[in-house]
Structure 1
Amino acid sequence: MSTSPPPEERDRIEAERKAKEDAEQAALPYKWTQTISDLDVTISIDGKYKGRDLDVKLGRNTLRVAIKGQDAIIEGDLPHPIRVDDSTWTLETVPNGKEISVHLDKVNKMEWWPHVVTSAPKIDTSKIQPENSTLSDLDGDTRGMVEKMMFDQRQKERGLPTSDEQKKLDILEQFKLQHPEMDFSKANMSP
């Protein structure tokens, strides 16, 4: 029978894992961030370069960013497909030179990526703390569905009927009013 390590040991192991992950990510020649729906890569380069000096290719399953005539800064297979038409790159002047910014629009808007390209070190996606979103961030249909789920959950917690159950009760009441001659005294209304 295996026993789990004490909390302080778990904390130490987690801190070591995080430090190793941070060191691996810091060693990459680029920085990257992601949301559940997209991913952004930032690469610092010398200020002398112009857009025509760059070799940037965004494919559905591949990415290449290089300065022409040099080894690629980032190149390889993406862990998941992107929407090429909605993905972009720019070259911007910043205080210490220039930055290549690559924006990748994920096809699957419900998954975290463990790395930008499959040859790079992975991050532990189970440790990602997603940004808080509000109902106003959602499209109309999704928002309505979430609000209904929240209402139904509150109703259940209070022992009250959910919105669907209430609809059925309302229909039954209408039917009773339309048919006063019928006797519902012995009707079993439980689901």
Structure 2
Amino acid sequence: MSEQPADSLTPAERAAKEEQEKLEKEKEKEKGEQAQLPYTWTQKLPDVDISIPVPKGTRARDLDIDIKKAYLKVALKGQPAIVEGELCQAIKVDESTWSLDDQKEVSIHLEKVNQMQWWENVIKGTAKINTQRIQPENSQLSDLDGNTRAMVEKMMFDQRQKAMGKPDSDTLKKQEMFEKFKKEHPEMDFSNAKFTT
């Protein structure tokens, strides 16, 4: 398929193409900035994982690692810090860990306090990522705790009902209660009763 010349595009197609090119440039810039950091990092909504390369043969006792609620420091003893600064968001210190892998890489796992927010960077003041572009991995309903799972299942049911033009779960519950009330009170006249959603 050959690319259309720019002048044969409709204004909407041209705008979409320009937006796509702008996004590509932003992604490339972001990738370059992230590559300049002395570590790589990934995140899921509940946590952040950081990998920091260190000289081969490094032992745990050679490291100076300090993990606090809003602060992180990783250094080789007696040398300037590889990573040091205020974290962009608070973490749960007791649930955050670090390990030394193959004597050449420090792996840090940080549990977020706010597990519903994406981080734009690890250390405040460093290169940011555009959190609007994050594509969350599909989580399984079975991964969720009971309350969250029930809430998600209710939302999914309500969306399906709405798509079919049917009442949502709250409306169904009200209708059910009304029907039960009518059965319990046959002496009352409900002929003029209107049920509003």
- What TM-score comes out, normalization by structure 1 length? 0.89
Aligned to 2:132: 126
Distance 1:165 1:31 in 2: 49
Distance 1:85 1:58 in 2: 10
Structure 1 position 88, deviation (Å):
0.6
SS at match of 2:136: coil
SS at match of 2:20: helix
Aligned to 1:151: 157
SS at match of 1:184: coil
Structure 1 position 168, deviation (Å):
2.2
1:81 aligns with 2:90: yes
Identity, in percent, stands at 52
Distance 1:155 1:9 in 2: 38
Distance 1:51 1:86 in 2: 19
Structure 1 position 23, deviation (Å):
1.0
1:33 aligns with 2:42: yes
Which residues of 2 match residues 65-80 of structure 1 at below 5 A?
65-80=74-89
Structure 1 unaligned spans of 5+: none
Structure 2 unaligned spans of 5+: 1-10
Structure 1 position 177, deviation (Å):
2.3
Q: Which amino acid aligns with 2:76?
A: I
1:19 aligns with 2:23: no
When the two structures are aligned, how many residues end up with a matched partner? 186
Q: Which amino acid aligns with 1:127?
A: R
1:53 aligns with 2:65: no
Distance 2:167 2:21 in 1: 48
Aligned to 1:103: 109
Distance 1:29 1:112 in 2: 21
1:42 aligns with 2:48: no
